[in-house]
Amino acid sequence: MSVSDTNLASAPRRANRSSESVARKVARNVGVPVLSIVLLLVVWQAIVVGFHVAPYIAPRPYQAVLAVTQNWSTLWPLVLGTIRETVYGFVAGAALGISLGVIMAKVPVLQRLVYPVLVLSQAVPIIALAAPLVLILGFSVTPKVVIVAWIVFFPVTVNVLDGLSHVDQDLVNLARVYGAPRWRTFVQIEVPATATPLFSGLKIGATYAVTGAIIGELAASDGSSLALYQEHANTNLNTAAVYGTTMLMTVIGISWFLLVVGAEVFATPWQRRTVARRSWRRVADQSEGDSAR
Partner 1 sequence: MSASAILELRDVGKVFGDTVALEPTTLSIEEGSFVAIVGPSGCGKSTLFNVIAGLLEPDGGEVRLHDRPVTGATGHVGYMLQKDLLVPWRTVEDNITMAKRLTGRVSSAHRAEARRVARQYGLGDFLRHYPSALSGGMRQRVAFMRTLVTHQPLLLLDEPFGALDAQTRLEMQQWLLQVWKDTERTVLFITHDVDESIFLSDRVLVMSPRPGRVVADFVNPLARPRTVDTLTEPDFVVLKARIMHLLHGGTP
Footprint of partner 1 (CB under 8 A)? 1-3, 5-15, 168, 170-171, 173-181, 184-185, 188-189, 192-193, 195, 268, 270, 273-276, 282, 285, 288-289, 292
DSSP 188-199: IIIHHHTHHHHH
Rounded to a whole number of angstroms, the minimum distance from the CB of residue 168 to partner 1 is 7
Helix extents (H) in 32-71 = 32-50, 61-69
Q: Which is nearer to partner 1, 32 or 292 (CB)?
A: 292
Pairwise CA distance, residues 79 & 248, whole Å: 8
CB-based contact 89:209 (threshold 8 Å): yes
CB of 172 to partner 1, least distance (A): 10
Angle, to 10 degrees, between the axis of helix 108-123 and the axis of helix 72-106? 150
For residues 23 and 177, which CB has a smaller minimum distance to partner 1 in the complex?
A: 177
Local structure of 174: helix, strand or coil? helix
Report CA-CA distances (Å) from 37 to 32, 43, 239.
9, 10, 21
Cβ neighbour number for residue 203 with a 10 Å cutoff:
17
192 by DSSP, 3-state: which?
A: helix
CB 208 within 8 A of CB 195: no
CB nearer partner 1, residue 43 or residue 174: 174
Name the residue nearer to partner 1 (CB basis): 192 or 255: 192
Min CB(260)–partner 1 separation in Å: 19
Give the separation between CA 1 and CA 34, rounded to whole angstroms.
Answer: 37
Cα-based distances in Å from 223 to 219, 226, 227: 11, 10, 10
Coil vs helix vs strand at 138? coil
Nearer to partner 1, 200 or 239 (CB): 200
Compute the least distance from the CB of residue 265 to partner 1, in Å: 14
**Least CB distance to partner 1 at residue 183 (A):** 11
Residues in the chain: 293
Q: How far is the CB of 268 from partner 1 (least distance, A)?
A: 7
Cβ-based nearer residue to partner 1, 128 or 275:
275
Please state the closest distance from residue 94 (CB atom) to partner 1, in A: 20
Nearer to partner 1, 8 or 117 (CB): 8
